[in-house]
Every structure is written in C-alpha cells, then in structure tokens.
Amino acid sequence: MNASPDGLMGYVQRFPVRFDECARDGAARASALFRYVVETAFAHSTAKGFPLAWYDTRGLHWVVRRARIDLHSTVPYGALLDVATRVVAFRRIWAQRRNTIQDITGRFVGEVALDWIFTDRDGNPTRIVPEMAAAFPDLAERVEIDRLDLGEPPANVHSEEFLVPGHQTDPRGHMNSAAYLDLFEDALVGLDVDPQARPARYDLEFLRAVVPGEVLLRSVWAELNGWAMIGSTSAGVAVVKGRRTALNAGERIGTRQGDRAGEGV
C-alpha cells in the first residue's frame, strides 16, 4: 500500500483489491471499500504523529459513529484504488472525515463520510486533546451531527440470531465497523437482493460496541426505496442501524435533503 502526504486531495493511500475481498461477481464487496477508508484514516493519524501506540498508551481511541457510503460503480479483483481522506470538522468529542475512492485512471468509484467519536479507555466520549486539534488546523466547514431514523421493524419481520465471532474484532476488542455491513449484506442475499448492484448508498449508525461471544438479533425489512436493518442485543438494546437505497446518477453525499456531513480520526 502506497501513501502520499497531505495535499489538496488530503492524505492518499493506495490499495489493491484482493481475491478474498470480492464477491461471486469478482468485484469488491462494500465492506472491503469501507475497510480501506478506515485504514487510510488511521494511516493519516499515524503520519500526523498519532499512531496506534499513542492511543493505547493514553487509553484513548476513535470509534466510528456514523457512515454514509456512496458506491457508484463496481471494482474488479486486482484493481488499484486510491483512497483520499481529509478531516473537515472537529467539535469537542467528535470529528468528521470526507473520503473519496478512485481507480488509477481517475475514475470516481465511491465517496464516504465518516463521523467519529473520541473515547476513553472505557469507551466513554471524551474531549479531543489539544495536540490533536492543533494537528488539523483551519477546519472551516461547519457540519451537523445527525441520526439515522428507521423506526421499529414491522411486526411481521423475523429476527435472526448472529454470534459475534472473534475474527471480526478490531484492536479494541470490539466488532469491526465494516463487519456490520457484511452482516447487512448477508441478510440481503438471503432475501434474493443483490448487494453488489451499483450504484447504491449505505447509511449506518453505530450505537454500542459488542464483543466476541455476544449474540445479536438482526432484523431486515423492505422500505419504499430500499432496505433497512437493525441489529440489537438479546435484551433489545439497539447496536447498529443501517439502510440501503438506490443512488441516482451523479448524486453525491450532501445532495439529498436531510443529508449532513459526518465523524473522523
């Protein structure tokens, strides 16, 4: 993976699409692109002087709270992708990154807005430290934090159990954010929906961390313009919400009424 320092495009890192990241159509899954974006954010943090060891020593960490993922076209196995990331806003415990994904010909294949929350060792939100705020100056954009409102699943929707596996955890010991996208897409396949169809938009909100061995209840149902998912604990506490909708040609993040920019490292 090649990386370039900050510039007009932000921090850029290159990824090859691997065989195990592709679905049966030979194209990258949405979760693979999501992982590239998160990896680029942490690589940017490292380049700014905040590597993983810095966070571990201080008991601090960024966690994704909200994701808006626009996927404009399929990306085949072996393609080289340039992921660009930039921090566009800070607010006490919260930050946002905007991310773009292009192939090496310059073809624009995706855009992702991530809202992140700064947390302490116990996972509680905490104020962003001054040295980190100083490393990302001149953030002129003002953005709002929004929520994903799905309502309750219809009464006739059956919830399926999912045991959180150890291999889907991140360095904090929590289920990886991109793994929830896999969980959503696995359910869509079972409903005869092709999650590889493009263009498409995913909206995700992460509400609570879960650890290996926990049981999640996954509820997925059709909406007027797409599909919705809620993952909750066995006690009914919501962990994650998700929505998949069609994406109009040329549509970008922030162009729909109610869209706002989102969270970042």
Cα 25-242-258 angle, rounded to 5 deg:
115
Give the end-to-end CA distance of the chain in Å, rounded to a whole number. 19
Average pLDDT, the chain: 89
**174, 117 in Cβ contact below 8 A?**
no
Q: Which residue has the higher pLDDT, 171 or 185?
A: 185
With cut-offs at 50, 70 and 90, classify the pLDDT of residue 253.
low
Residue 134: φ, ψ to 5°: -70, -25
In Å, what is the CA distance from 156 to each residue of 133, 222, 229, 238? Answer: 48, 12, 14, 18
Task: State yes or no: pLDDT of 263 exceeds 80.
Answer: no
Q: Which residue has the higher pLDDT, 62 or 250?
A: 62
Q: Tell me the C-alpha distance between 172 and 3, whole Å.
A: 25
pLDDT computed for residue 13 by the predictor: 97
Q: Give every CB contact of residue 177 below 8 A, 6+ residues apart in sequence.
A: 34, 38, 63, 64, 67, 170, 204, 206
For the sheet containing 215-223, what is the strand order?
3-4, 11-16, 80-91, 94-103, 108-119, 61-71, 200-206, 238-246, 226-233, 215-223, 160-163
In the chain, % of residues over pLDDT 90: 78
Task: State yes or no: pLDDT of 257 exceeds 80.
Answer: no
pLDDT computed for residue 75 by the predictor: 97
The token pair that represents 162 in the structure block: 């999912």
Task: State yes or no: pLDDT of 224 exceeds 80.
Answer: yes
Q: Tell me the C-alpha distance between 52 and 60, whole Å.
A: 10
pLDDT computed for residue 261 by the predictor: 33
With cut-offs at 50, 70 and 90, classify the pLDDT of residue 259.
very low
pLDDT tens readout for residues 52-86: 999 999 999 999 999 999 999 999 999 999 999 99
